[in-house]
Structure 1
Amino acid sequence: MATAPADERLSGGAMSNGKPVLRDRYLIDPASPIPELDLPNASAFLVTDRRDAAREIYALVCRPEITPRMKEMRSLRGLSSPGLLPLLEWGVIEWPPLDRRTIAVIYQRPKGGKFVRGLSETVAPIDPLSARDVIITPLYAALRLLASNNVVHRAIRPDNLYYLDEKRTQLVLGDCVTTPPGYDQHALFENIGSAMTPRAGRGRGDFHNDMYSLGATVMFMIAGRNPAPTMDEREIIASKVSATSFRTLVGEIPLNDSMLELLRGLLADENAMIWNLEKIDLWLSGKRTTPVQMKRPKKAKTAFMFVGMPITHKRLLAQAIALNWDAAAKIAREGEIEVWLRHSLEDKETAERIGAAVRDATADELGSGMDDHVLISRICLLLDPSGPIRYRDFIAMPDGFGTALEQNPSLGQYYAELIKKEIVRFWTEAQPIYMPDQSLHLEISKNMEQHVRQTGMGSGIERCIYELNDMAPCRSPLIERDYVLDIADILPALDRASKRVDRTTLPVDRHIAAFVKSRFDNNIDKQVEALTAGSKERATLGMISLLAMLQWRLGPETVFGLSSWIGGIAQPAINSYHSRSQRKRLERDIPKMVRRGSLPEIYNLLEDKEQRDTDTSGYAKAVEEFREAQAEAIEIETGEERRKIEAKLYGQQTAAVISLLIGMTVLTLMFAGRMF
C-alpha cells in the first residue's frame, strides 16, 4: 500500500500543553491575543519560536469558513524586502477556541504597530514633499518583489501598513494572504469595478488593482485621514463614477506638482491609463512622464428614472439594475435604455449594441429563448464592460467566480444558469479590447458547463467549487472541522469523524465525491458513477471501492474507525449476493476485516471475483432449475387435468355407446315379439 507524500503544512494538528504547534517549531498561544494586530477576518496571537524564544513574532489565525491564498503563502514564505512584512511560515493548525482546524500564518512582529487602527482614525499628515522617501520608496520595493514572484497584493490600505521598528521609520505592507483578494478592502481603496463587486467575488485582479490601492492609500496618508469621511461606500462609488476617483479622493487638498502627477497616474479610472511599476520607477528617479489627463465621464442631459432614482451615468445604471433586478425586465424590453443612451448621453454605439441585444431576445422568444435574465445581464455588461458580471443575485468578476461560489453556495443555481446561458461569452464580446485572459475565462466556463449539466455525485456546483478553487478545503459537513486540503488527508479525517457522526450516515457525500474527483489523479469514474446508481447495493459497493482505492493509493495503513463505520453500513453490498450461505459467510467475515483496518480487504471480501462468479452462476443455475421444475409442475398439473377431461369425455362416449346398444337391443326384442 502506497502512502502519498503530503505537504506537512496542509495536515497539521500537533499540540503541546493545549497550544497548537506549527511545523514542530512555532507555539501559538490561544490565551495571548494581540488585538492591536488583528485584521478584519484574522485574529492575532502571540507565538513562541522554539529555536529562538526571544524572537518577536506573531500568528494571524484565519477564519476557517474563508479560504485564504495558500499559493501566495508559498510564494511569499521566507522572502525579505524593504517595505514588506516578512512571512515566516504558514500551515494548518488545531485551534482549540473553535474546536476545529484552520490556517495560521506566522509573521515577524512589527514593533511600531499599525499606521492606523481603522479608517476613521485621524493621524498627523505626511508632508507630500517627504512622501517619496517615507511612503513610495519602501512600498515600491515591496511591490517590485511581489511582481517578480507573480503575486498581486490586493490588500493595500492604511490599516494594513505597519512600522517594523519602534521609532516608526520602516514602513511595510502587511498581510495579503489570510483572505481572498480584495476581500477586506473598503470601496475607498478599490477601483470602481472592484468596489461595485461583492467582496467574495472581486477576484485576483492584476497590477492595476494594486496601483490604484496604492494611490488611494497615499492620499489617505498625506491627508492624515479618510479623504471622503462623510460618504458611505455606495456614495463613494457614485462620486468616483461621476467626478472621477482622482477628484473624489484628492479633492481640494493642496499637493505639489510631483505628487499630483503620481496620483493622477495611480488613480486613473481606466486601466490603460494607470501607471505601472516602470513609471513609478521613472517618477522616483525624478524623470517626468506624460501626464494623465483626467476626463470626467459623460453625464446624461436628462436623468434616467429607475425605481425612483435619477441616474445620469451608464455605470451607475448598471449598478442600480443589479440591485433591483426584477424591476429591470420592463425597461429592458421596451427600449427605454436605448433611447436614453442615444438622446441624453449621445452614446450611439452602446445604444445600438443594446438595441441589437433586445432584438436578439425578441427573436429568440419563440425558440429556445433568451429570457429576461440573460437580456438584463447583457445590458449591464454593455453599460459597464469593466464592471463585474451581473446575473440575478450572482455578481462577480470572472476570476472571482470560484470564491464567490464557495462563500455563497446558495447562489449555485444562478451560477449554473449564467454558465449554461453563455454569459461569459457575452462578457468577452462587451470588452472594448481583447485581452488573453478572456480566452482563458471562456475555456474555464466551457469546462464548468460540463459539471453543472450533470447532477450526479462528483459533479454539479460542488465540483465547480473545487475546480475553481484549487486550494479550497473540503466543505463536507462530515470532515469540515478537519480543514482537509490534501487528498491524502480524506481518510484520516473520515476515520476521526467516525467517532462523532451518526454511523448510519454514508461516509461519502456530494462534497467528498466532488473533492476527490477534482483532486485524485487516478481514474475513479466507475466508482463515482456507482454512487448515484439506482441500486442501493451498487451504490454501497461503489462507495467502498472508492474509499478502498484511496487507502490503497494514498494510505494510511489502517483506518480502524472508518473500517468499523463501513462494516456497519455494508449490508446492502452483502445483500447483493443471492446465496444465503454466502451472505452468512460475509456477515461472519466482515468483522475480521474491520479489525484489520483495511478498506481494500473489506472491498475484496465483498467483491471477490471468484465468489461473485460462483454466486452469479449458481444463481443462474438455480433460476434455470427452478424454471424447469416449475415447467414440470405445470406439465404435471395440466396433464392431470387433461386426463380428467379425457376420462370424462371417454366416459361420456362409452355411456352413449352403451345407451345406443341397449336401445337397439330393446327395439330388436320388441320387433321380434311382434313377429312371433
Structure 2
Amino acid sequence: MAAPGVMEAVELGDRYEIVPSKRLSAFDSGMAEAYAATDRVDSSRKVFALIAPGHLANRGLGIAPTRNAAGNYLMWPVASGIVDWPVGVEGSEVLWGRRPVFIYGIPAGEKVVGANNQLPTLNESQLLKNYLQPAVQMLRDLVLIGLPHRAIRPQNLYYQSGNGGDIMFGDCLASPPGSHQSAALETIDAAMADPIGRGGGSAAEDIYAMGVTGLMLYLGRDPVANFTDEQIINAKINSGSFSTLAGGEKLAPSLAEFFRGVLCDKVSDRWTIKQLEGWMTGAHFNPTLPSVPQRASRPLKFCGVDYLNKPALAHGMSRHWNEAIALLTSSDFDNWYKRGFGDEKAPDKMMRIHGLAAAYGPQSGIRDRAVSRFIIHMGGHLPLCYKEIRTSLTGLGAMLSHYYERKEKVQQIAEAMRARLPHNWFEEQPNLRPEEMQLRRSLETVDKVIDRQGPGYGIERVLYELDRGTPCKSPLVADYYVVEMADLLPAMDAAIPGAPHGTLPMDRHIAAFIATNMKRLMDNEMIALANRNDEILYRTAILRLLAIVQRVHQQYSLPRLGQVVAEMLEPVIAAFHNTGMRDHIRSEIDKHAKECRFDEMLLLLDGEGSLKKADNDGFAAAIQEYANLERGRLWLTGGGLTDTARVRGIAHKVAATTSALACSASLAAYGVFTMLF
C-alpha cells in the first residue's frame, strides 16, 4: 500500500509517527496493512498503525474517537484519522496522497492461532472462562454503541498476555465489515455474497461468528477446512449450520445447547446477547430445531448436483449463471417448480416473474433478469444476484465502490438497478432490518438520478448515494481520501501540481460528490453544469459550484486552486466586449485569485451581474450605432450623391425654386416702381 523505500516518517497529530518503510505484516487486518509507529509522548508504549484501504468508505473514522476501548477484551485504537501517505513512485518522485489510519497498542499476548494456522484446543472450562465470557462482554459493549464487530475469527484473536489465558478480539474498524471472513464463519446469506458486498450486518452475525470460532477452538480445528465455499453453503442450506459444522462431533450437552442456539440459521430463533448472558449464568433454553427449507418431492439435477429445495438451487444458479439461463427454459425446471412443492399458485408465480423480467429493461437482458428474479424469489434472504454480482443490499455501495474500475461489474450493477432488482428483493422479504429499511428509502433517490445523463447524476451519483462515506473518486483527488465536503477544496488545491496542465477543477465525480453531500438540492447548478458545448456557461457553472462549497466551509488558503480557476476563466473574461472592462475584470480576477475568493470572481462574471449587463447594453448600443454608420457608408459608396435620377430630381427642384424666387423678386420690384412713379 505504501510506496517502497520511503524513509520519511508520517505524522498523525502531534503525537504519533508512522514509518512507511517498516511493515509489520503479522498485525495486518483484512485489507488493512500494518506499519511500525511510535508514540512521542510515551516512548515506552509499543504501538503500530493500520492503514485502511483508500478507495472504500470506513465506518471506523467516525466511531473510533467517540469512546474508549471496550473493556480489556477488544483492541481499540488509541488514535485515528487521515494522514499523508506515499501512494506511489513516478521516476524519482514519491507520489503522496491521504489514507485512513488507526493506531493500536501492540498486544501483550501472542496470537491465538499459531504457526501454520494451528488452532489450540480448549476444553469446556477453558472455552467458557477464557473465550465465551470475554466474547459476551465484548459483544455487549459493541451493542451499546451500535457497532457490529464483523471480524470475529480465530486469526483475529490474541491472548491477554503470554500464550494462554483470557482471549481478546482484534481490530474491527480498519477493513470493511465481513470482508475477510471465511464462508464457514459467515451466515448462509452473508457467505454467499462477495466478501466486499456483505454489508455492515448486526450483532446477530457476530453471535454466529462467535459460535463458529468457539467451535473451532473447542475442536482444535476447522471442521469444514476441506470444503469449498460452495460446498459449505450448500451443506448449511440443506442440513443447517449446526449439523454442518458440529453434527459429527461429540459435544458436551451444555455446549451442544449453546452451539445450537448461536448457530441457528433463522435469525429470529438465534440466541441474543440476553440469552447468551442467561446461559452463562446457568439458564437453559428449549432446543432450537434446525431451520431447513421445504423439500421437493423429487430432486432436480443441475450442473451435476441434485437439488431438493429452492434456496440451494438459487445458490447453485448464482454460481453457474449461463447454465441457469438454460435451466429456466427446460421442462425439468418447469415441472420441478410447479409440482414439486404442492403449491397451487406456482404457475401464476412463474408467470409473474417472467412478466416482470420482461417489463423492466431492454429485450436483450430478459433471460438474465429472469434468472435473478427466480433466485430472489427462491432464495429468501439470500443476496441479490445478477450475472457476476452477489451482494447484500446494504453492501451494494461498497461493492460498487470496490469494483468501480472494472467497467463490466459497474455495468452489471447499473443493469440490476435499472431492472429494479433491489426493489424486487425488498418485496420478497417478510421482514426488513432497520438498516435495510433505510436503504430502501435511499433507492428512491437512486431511481431518480441513475438515468440522468448530466454531471451530478448517473452511476457516479448512485455510488455516493448508496454509501455516503465513499471517498470522492475523481482522478484529480482520488488519492486524497476525500469523504467530507470540508476536505474537497483543500484536496483539489494539493492535487493540482500533479495534474496535467489545463485540467479543469471539475468532473462528473466531483459534481456527484457535491450534489450528494450538500445539505440542499443542487439541481439548478447541475443543469447549468450540463452546458458543456457552451464554454462560457460551463466554466461559469464550475466557478459557481466552487463558490457554493467555499461559502459553506470558508476555506481561502488555496493558492494553486485560485490560480487554476483564474486561468480557467480567461475565455469567460475574453467574452466581454469592452476592452477597458476586460482589463479591469482581469485585474480584479487576478487579485481575487491570490485571496482565493470565488464568490467575488462570480460577482464579476455572473451573466446576470451588473458588469455583464452594462457590457451587453454598451455592446448593443455600439452595434446600433455601427449599423447606422454602415448604412450611411453603403449609401455613399453606392452613389447616393451622384445618381443621375437623383441629380435630375434635385436640379428640377432647384430650378423651380430659383424660378419662384426670381418671379417673387420681379413682382416685388414692380410693386415698388408703381408706388414711386
The two structures have a TM-score, normalised by structure 2, of: 0.85
1:366, 1:545 → 2: CA distance?
A: 37
SS in 2 for 1:248: helix
Change (3 A) 1:365 1:264: closer
Query: What residue in structure 2 maps to residue 285 of structure 1?
Result: 281
Instruction: Read off the aligned partner of 1:613 and give its amino acid letter.
Output: K
Are 2:56 and 2:471, in contact at CA under 8 Å, matched by a contact in 1?
Answer: no
- The answer to whether 1:101 aligns with 2:101 is no
- The answer to whether 1:337 aligns with 2:333 is yes
Query: What residue in structure 1 maps to residue 658 of structure 2?
Result: none
Query: What residue in structure 2 maps to residue 35 of structure 1?
Result: 25
SS in 2 for 1:189: coil
SS in 2 for 1:478: coil
Query: What residue in structure 1 maps to residue 264 of structure 2?
Result: 268
Are 2:153 and 2:185, in contact at CA under 8 Å, matched by a contact in 1?
Answer: yes
- The answer to whether 1:466 aligns with 2:460 is no
SS in 2 for 1:209: helix
Instruction: Read off the aligned partner of 1:111 and give its amino acid letter.
Output: A
Question: Could you list the per-position Cα deviations for residues 37-78 of structure 1 after superposition, in whole angstroms to 9, with x for gaps in the alignment?
Answer: 222311222332222211232221212233322366337641
Matches within 5 A, 1:76-91: 77-91=67-81
1:642, 1:210 → 2: CA distance?
A: 103
Matches within 5 A, 1:32-431: 32-70=22-60, 73-74=63-64, 77-96=67-86, 98=88, 99-116=96-113, 121-294=117-290, 296-300=292-296, 302-307=298-303, 309-332=305-328, 336-344=332-340, 346=341, 348=343, 351-352=346-347, 354-358=349-353, 360-361=355-356, 371-409=366-404, 410=407, 411-431=409-429
1:219, 1:402 → 2: CA distance?
A: 33
Instruction: Read off the aligned partner of 2:175 and give its amino acid letter.
Output: T
Change (3 A) 1:433 1:556: closer
Deviation at 1:361, TM superposition (A): 4.5
Deviation at 1:333, TM superposition (A): 5.3
Are 1:498 and 1:561, in contact at CA under 8 Å, matched by a contact in 2?
Answer: yes
Question: Could you list the per-position Cα deviations for residues 401-434 of structure 1 after superposition, in whole angstroms to 9, with x for gaps in the alignment?
Answer: 1111111223333333333333233212212346
Deviation at 1:29, TM superposition (A): 2.7
Question: Could you list the per-position Cα deviations for residues 482-526 of structure 1 after superposition, in whole angstroms to 9, with x for gaps in the alignment?
Answer: 222221221211111221111211111111111122223366544
Change (3 A) 1:642 1:77: farther
Deviation at 1:81, TM superposition (A): 1.4
Change (3 A) 1:130 1:74: closer
1:366, 1:454 → 2: CA distance?
A: 16
Count of residues in Structure 1 that have an aligned counterpart in Structure 2: 631
1:322, 1:142 → 2: CA distance?
A: 36
SS in 2 for 1:185: coil
Deviation at 1:593, TM superposition (A): 3.7
Unaligned stretches of 5+ residues in structure 1: 1-15, 649-676
Deviation at 1:479, TM superposition (A): 1.2
Question: Could you list the per-position Cα deviations for residues 382-407 of structure 1 after superposition, in whole angstroms to 9, with x for gaps in the alignment?
Answer: 11011011233332111111111111
Are 2:61 and 2:100, in contact at CA under 8 Å, matched by a contact in 1?
Answer: no
Instruction: Read off the aligned partner of 1:115 and give its amino acid letter.
Output: V
Deviation at 1:187, TM superposition (A): 0.7
Are 2:193 and 2:383, in contact at CA under 8 Å, matched by a contact in 1?
Answer: yes
Change (3 A) 1:111 1:306: same
SS in 1 for 2:500: coil
Change (3 A) 1:87 1:592: closer
SS in 1 for 2:11: strand
Matches within 5 A, 1:628-667: 628=628
Deviation at 1:164, TM superposition (A): 2.4
Change (3 A) 1:181 1:435: closer
Are 2:87 and 2:479, in contact at CA under 8 Å, matched by a contact in 1?
Answer: no
1:542, 1:250 → 2: CA distance?
A: 63
Are 1:157 and 1:185, in contact at CA under 8 Å, matched by a contact in 2?
Answer: yes
Instruction: Read off the aligned partner of 1:48 and give its amino acid letter.
Output: T
Change (3 A) 1:113 1:76: farther
Change (3 A) 1:43 1:113: farther
Deviation at 1:539, TM superposition (A): 0.6
Query: What residue in structure 1 maps to residue 440 of structure 2?
Result: 442
Change (3 A) 1:439 1:519: closer
2:69, 2:21 → 1: CA distance?
A: 29
2:644, 2:326 → 1: CA distance?
A: 84
Deviation at 1:138, TM superposition (A): 0.6
1:503, 1:449 → 2: CA distance?
A: 37
Are 1:92 and 1:103, in contact at CA under 8 Å, matched by a contact in 2?
Answer: yes
CA RMSD of aligned residues (A): 3.2
Are 2:30 and 2:179, in contact at CA under 8 Å, matched by a contact in 1?
Answer: no
Overall identity of the aligned pairs, in %: 27
Question: Could you list the per-position Cα deviations for residues 332-374 of structure 1 after superposition, in whole angstroms to 9, with x for gaps in the alignment?
Answer: 3566434213334x25278356424246349859999993333
1:323, 1:396 → 2: CA distance?
A: 13
Are 2:293 and 2:310, in contact at CA under 8 Å, matched by a contact in 1?
Answer: no
Are 2:360 and 2:420, in contact at CA under 8 Å, matched by a contact in 1?
Answer: no
Deviation at 1:636, TM superposition (A): 7.5
Q: Which moved more, 1:384-393 or 1:292-301?
A: 292-301
Question: Could you list the per-position Cα deviations for residues 606-627 of structure 1 after superposition, in whole angstroms to 9, with x for gaps in the alignment?
Answer: 3382221111112222344455
Query: What residue in structure 2 maps to residue 605 of structure 1?
Result: 604
The two structures have a TM-score, normalised by structure 1, of: 0.85
Query: What residue in structure 2 maps to residue 11 of structure 1?
Result: none
Query: What residue in structure 2 maps to residue 656 of structure 1?
Result: none
Question: Could you list the per-position Cα deviations for residues 258-287 of structure 1 after superposition, in whole angstroms to 9, with x for gaps in the alignment?
Answer: 100111111112112211111111110111
SS in 2 for 1:237: helix
Instruction: Read off the aligned partner of 2:273 and give its amino acid letter.
Output: L
1:365, 1:276 → 2: CA distance?
A: 40
SS in 1 for 2:161: coil
Query: What residue in structure 1 maps to residue 621 of structure 2?
Result: 621
Change (3 A) 1:338 1:382: farther
SS in 2 for 1:172: strand
Unaligned stretches of 5+ residues in structure 2: 1-5, 89-95, 649-677
1:437, 1:68 → 2: CA distance?
A: 17
2:360, 2:37 → 1: CA distance?
A: 63
Are 1:402 and 1:465, in contact at CA under 8 Å, matched by a contact in 2?
Answer: yes
1:22, 1:537 → 2: CA distance?
A: 43
1:577, 1:244 → 2: CA distance?
A: 75
Query: What residue in structure 1 maps to residue 541 of structure 2?
Result: 542
Q: Which moved more, 1:442-451 or 1:327-336?
A: 327-336
Deviation at 1:461, TM superposition (A): 1.7
1:620, 1:50 → 2: CA distance?
A: 69
1:308, 1:629 → 2: CA distance?
A: 91
2:257, 2:344 → 1: CA distance?
A: 32
Are 1:354 and 1:379, in contact at CA under 8 Å, matched by a contact in 2?
Answer: no
> Residue 488 of structure 2 is aligned with which of 490, 507, 510?
490
1:365, 1:565 → 2: CA distance?
A: 45
1:386, 1:427 → 2: CA distance?
A: 8
1:494, 1:362 → 2: CA distance?
A: 44
Are 1:155 and 1:185, in contact at CA under 8 Å, matched by a contact in 2?
Answer: yes
